[in-house]
Amino acid sequence: MRRIALYLCLAVILAGYTFYSQYRRSVAPPAPQSAQQQEADALLQKAFDEKLSNLQVEGRGVVTMLLPDDNKGSRHQRFVLRLASGQTLLVAHNIDLAPRIDSLAIGDEVAFSGEYEWNSKGGVLHWTHRDPDGRHAAGWLRHRDRTYQ
């Protein structure tokens, strides 16, 4: 009986530790910002404050939410990034023109280059791929040292 109680106690401790580790990872702040990253975040904040769109931007953020794919028209992988400034950014990554990030998880850092469009929730980032017609600046996403374009 004591052995069962001991195993049960160890299982509860292990489960608690695992939950805490995952929770802490999912809300971890982004890495310290470089001057370049601070400038990128400031530009995105200005674009949001002034309701600007069609702005080519680069930066990085931490994944806070994974959303279902948008399958209307061109298919897009969607997720939300939180920038170091606290601003959120919906990423709409065209998976008909660029590879999907299959291993993406909450808490992961993603660097990006794409076009910013204003919305009331922080903005949308799209054009994170090459333009097959060559008329638009190429964008990209970088996750775990792999570039998706």
- pLDDT at position 34 is 79
CA distances from 13 to 7, 24, 25, 26, 143 (A): 10, 16, 18, 20, 33
Token pair recorded at residue 109? 């850092």
Query: In which band, very low, low, confident or very high, does the pLDDT at 139 lie, cut at 50, 70 and 90?
Result: very high
The confidence score (pLDDT) of residue 4 equals 62
Q: What is the pTM of this model?
A: 0.75
pLDDT at 45: 92
**Which of left, alpha, beta for 117 (phi over 0: left; psi -120 to 50: alpha)?**
beta
Q: What is the pLDDT of residue 148?
A: 96
For the chain, the C-alpha Rg in angstroms (whole number) is 19
pLDDT at 3: 62
Secondary structure E strands in 41-84:
55-70, 76-82
Query: In whole angstroms, what is the distance from residue 43 CA to residue 71 CA?
Result: 30
Q: What is the pLDDT of residue 33?
A: 63
Q: How far is CA 138 from the centre of its chain?
A: 19
Instruction: Encode pLDDT of 64-103 as tens digits.
Output: 999 999 999 999 999 999 999 999 999 999 999 999 999 9
Residues sharing a CB contact under 8 Å with residue 105, sequence separation 6 or more, in sequence order: 63, 66
User: What are the tens digits of pLDDT across the range 5-52?
Assistant: 444 444 445 444 454 444 444 444 545 567 888 888 888 999 999 999
List, for residues 28-37, the tens digit of each pLDDT value: 454 556 788 8
Alpha helices in the chain (DSSP H): 2-26, 35-49
